[in-house]
Amino acid sequence: MTAGSGTMAHSEKVARATEELLAACAAVDPAELTALANAISQARRVVCHGVGREGLMMRALAMRLYHLGLDAHVVGDMSTPPVGPDDLLVVSAGPGDFSTISALIDVARQAGARTACVTAQPDGAAPRSVDTVLHIPAQTMADDLGAEPKAGSVLPMGSLFEGAQYLIFELLVLELRDSLGISAGDMRARHTNLE
């Protein structure tokens, strides 16, 4: 059976997707995770950005950073301030580059901000141009083409990378919570009541 055949049983798809997510997350270098946590904790403010579904994961990260009590924003929101020295732009470029991502990296660097990139392709143009890289080795749309995708994920397109982002970002938040001395109660108290 191939990943795209559609003939797998539901339980087999669940098992394979779970195994793939676990493998991708387990392959992340803990030192890279700590380096990103340090960059975030040292920043005056953090601004996050990604495109497509990666952008949704970056919005989720920004929300958790806010719950930690950090000055966190998302590019494009009406209330996002300008970045400058002591700020950090964190972008997602799973396939290694997007024209908009590279443009934002350039703007942030020219303003004196530090930059970080979350990617599956650390040799891509975007990760090569930033200060901090978090490599999540998972299939993206950069390597899902063909009858048999190179990475062979049961999940379509960039879903493996995006799912791994969610889990890795939650682990990043746990590391930040511990290093900053923030309690779960502190985080919950910052959750909106306008729901």
Q: What is the pLDDT of residue 146?
A: 54
**What percentage of the chain has pLDDT greater than the value 70?**
93
* Domains of the chain by residue range: 10-185
Mean pLDDT of 6-25: 91
Q: Are 135 and 32 in contact (CB under 8 A)?
A: yes
User: Confidence class of residue 7 from pLDDT cuts 50, 70 and 90?
Assistant: confident
Mean pLDDT of 3-13: 76
Query: Rounded distance, CA 150 to CA 130, Å?
Result: 27
State yes or no: pLDDT of 2 exceeds 60: no
Query: Rounded distance, CA 167 to CA 48, Å?
Result: 17
State yes or no: pLDDT of 40 exceeds 70: yes
Question: pLDDT tens digit string along 127-182?
Answer: 999 999 999 999 898 876 654 545 578 888 989 999 999 999 999 999 999 999 99
Beta bridge pairs of residue 48: 74, 90
Question: pLDDT tens digit string along 58-103?
Answer: 999 999 999 999 999 999 999 999 999 999 999 999 999 999 999 9
H helices of the chain, in order, are: 10-26, 30-42, 52-67, 99-110, 125-128, 159-180, 184-189
Give pTM, 2 decimals: 0.91
- Distance of CA 34 to CAs 18, 46, 155, Å? 24, 16, 28
Active centre residues (catalytic): 162
Q: What is the pLDDT of residue 19?
A: 94
Tell me which of 31-40, 116-125, 150-159 is least confident. 150-159
Query: Rounded distance, CA 134 to CA 120, Å?
Result: 8
State yes or no: pLDDT of 33 exceeds 80: yes
Out of 3.40.50.150, 3.40.50.10490, 3.40.50.2300, 3.20.20.80, the CATH code matching 10-185 is 3.40.50.10490
State yes or no: pLDDT of 14 exceeds 60: yes
**Which residue, chain included where needed, has tokens 């732009």?**
89
